[in-house]
Amino acid sequence: MRRILIVDDHAVVCGGLRQFLAGRSDYQIAGEAHSGAEALTQITDHPWDLVLLDIGLPDINGLEVLKRVRQQQAELPVLIFSMHTEDEYAIASLQAGATGYLPKDSAPEEILEAIRRALGGSKYVSPHLADKLLSGVISTSKPMPHDSLSPRESDVMRRVSRGETLTHIASSLHLSPKTITTYRTRILEKLGVGSNAELTRYVIEHKLDT
């Protein structure tokens, strides 16, 4: 029996997936996590054959969770299962190391096919997305500026965008204010912005704090 972990903060989604896969004899929903931090703990503490990961988590963006998972377990299959359309996040997810990308409105047979392929060691791209990639409608060549941020830089970026002072961030992360100032300078350079207001606008536009 293959073990699947669902990472989603909506009980209805978790319950629906559990019910949908309840009759399967080859794999099971063996665990749930409702935040990014909880997901990282579960992935560290227990063995999994597949992770179904949402992007819009309440604490850590799903793509950031994915990056951290890849640092811990490079071979663990992770399917992004999101309310966002493929055009918005599919390429970024695949570039970050996702095994595949599934919109939450995918047909049941498509969900099963994606799970089968992921558990079989293959990548999954929907026919719709494959057509767009082949036709050049979606470009795969240009990563986003925030893709170059480290996990710590991403955390500081989100905190600054929420209006936290550098002193408060330093205290929360048990670092010196000088270190946080250095992080902020590096983040602004990587994102190509010149102020906290521009950084906040960038975070909102790219939905990095959802």
Distance CA 112, CA 32 (A): 18
Fold held by 2-135: Rossmann fold (3.40.50)
Q: Which has more confidence, 95 or 163?
A: 163
Distance CA 86, CA 154 (A): 23
- In percent, the amount of the chain with pLDDT more than 70 equals 93
* 3 state DSSP class of 4: strand
Distance CA 52, CA 145 (A): 26
Tens-place pLDDT, residues 20-42: 888 788 888 899 999 999 999 99
**pLDDT averaged over every residue in the chain:** 87
Q: Which has more confidence, 59 or 116?
A: 116
Map out the domains of the chain as residue ranges: 2-135, 145-205
Q: What is the pLDDT of residue 94?
A: 85
Q: Which has more confidence, 148 or 73?
A: 73
pTM above 0.85, yes or no: no
Q: What is the pLDDT of residue 197?
A: 92
Distance CA 38, CA 82 (A): 18
Sequence-ordered list of residues with C-beta below 8 angstroms from that of 155, at least 6 positions apart, any chain: 173
Q: 128: pLDDT confidence band, cut at 50, 70 and 90? A: confident
Query: Into which CATH architecture does domain 145-205 fall?
Result: Orthogonal Bundle (1.10)
CB 44 within 8 A of CB 72: yes
Tens-place pLDDT, residues 142-169: 567 888 888 899 999 999 999 999 999 9
Tens-place pLDDT, residues 166-205: 999 999 999 999 999 999 999 998 888 889 999 999 998 8
Distance CA 156, CA 181 (A): 10
